[in-house]
Structure 1
């Protein structure tokens, strides 16, 4: 984890398309703007909750870095995403992401990152919103932005939804038996750079009827290079208790520019 501001920052950048500035579509730069409601023709159900807690492992596979870490995720829906990553019981990285702020603490390097989504775009050429990050982590459907009509095709046991946005092609495959997204692909037709997210190992969450993908695989392709990120959860709970999202910067830590 020492080669970067933290594996978590790398995880966020990889999932959201750090390999190419326009890899992830964004309808607007405003963090509070939401997409249009899901078209009733699209047979999908998103995970609904107030508080979510999940634990598992995250594995990054890149030419310059191969790392497996324990991951602890907490969410308050549409408000806060909190993550902690570590090895052998030691926490190395902690992050707290809200609709207008991103804070990442790297305990290994005694440094921290603090900014917002606009600053993330400026520094790392990553276009993303809070809603997109939340949907990607949950395996939720990403609705088309206002004014864009998606193409919806039923293909046997699945439904294919496609739409273009900001010069990119976004495709989502929905498994009709579960009404859950099983694959998301974003492609730049000009460069053929892309990322694909596969959701598998669906299980019914305790005390609910909701199906959650306990395994997520992200594959990023740029030119001849390829990177991958996999997340495997062993425990996921919804609304079991009111969660806290602790985050503080110890004295002596250096702010990462």
Structure 2
């Protein structure tokens, strides 16, 4: 099945908004602080009810290099809405619930419905709503993961975690306790996800990253070559509110399911 560029961008943005680049050297990790309470170094979470935001998007993979504008709305812990446009025209609209993913392709006049289980199978990497929401906000994706280890490395608290078959590394700035980088690696497949957060800015009493970069490295089944897909988001407008936000999503009868 042919997948359009717009759909590819939207699917990646909606569902995945890494492998270590550091050399393996135990001494480079710094001193272990086994007695340091986890709560005292864990990244501060952004707490809110609704989020409205706009971004500049740059999507890149082996075949595509695309720039677009994105509107993103979020109801905490329950709903994410995305609209992607280029040259003033909306090409794609997507909505994500706790268990389902809906995508409207305006160009082809088709819509698609999927779920996180199918998506995780396609990427050969676990993806769920909570991980996606954390990507958007700059929060630690697995705050309750077991076997957390705390290491001091340069200006960071490095919080190492393990969840099922995924190794997690969270780099938390030890001055402001904001998350600046997360690396998730699937132990079995070696597929990985890297999230980098920069230029944090204050919006009233909330803090939000001005720039986010997400990179997925995965090897498709029956392939011996890694594929790398990346997306960068630069914030143009960010608004946190307790007032209800609209999430317009309606499928016209003229649209066919694909």
TM-score tier, shorter chain, comes to 0.7 to 0.9
In 1, the alpha carbon distance for the partners of 2:133 and 2:122 equals 21
Is structure 2 residue 11 aligned with structure 1 residue 9?
Answer: yes
Alignment match, 1:24 = none
Decide which structure has the larger Cα Rg and report it: 2
Q: TM-score, normalised by structure 1?
A: 0.81
CA RMSD of aligned residues (A): 2.4
Aligned pairs for 1:145-224 (under 5 A) are: 145=144, 148-189=146-187, 192-205=190-203, 207-208=204-205, 210-222=206-218, 223-224=225-226
Structure 1 or 2: more helix by fraction: 2
Alignment match, 1:133 = 132
Aligned pairs for 1:8-87 (under 5 A) are: 8-13=10-15, 15=16, 39-87=38-86
How big is the shift at 1:126? 4.8
Structure 1 stretches of 5 or more lacking a match? 18-37
Alignment match, 1:239 = 241
1:188–1:116: structure 2 CA closer, same or farther, 3 Å change rule? closer
Alignment match, 2:33 = none
How big is the shift at 1:229? 0.9
1:246–1:171: structure 2 CA closer, same or farther, 3 Å change rule? same
In 2, the alpha carbon distance for the partners of 1:171 and 1:149 equals 12
Structure 1 moving runs of 4+ over 6 Å: none
Alignment match, 1:113 = 112
Structure 2 stretches of 5 or more lacking a match? 19-36, 219-224
Q: TM-score, normalised by structure 2?
A: 0.81
1:8–1:122: structure 2 CA closer, same or farther, 3 Å change rule? same
In 1, the alpha carbon distance for the partners of 2:167 and 2:124 equals 19
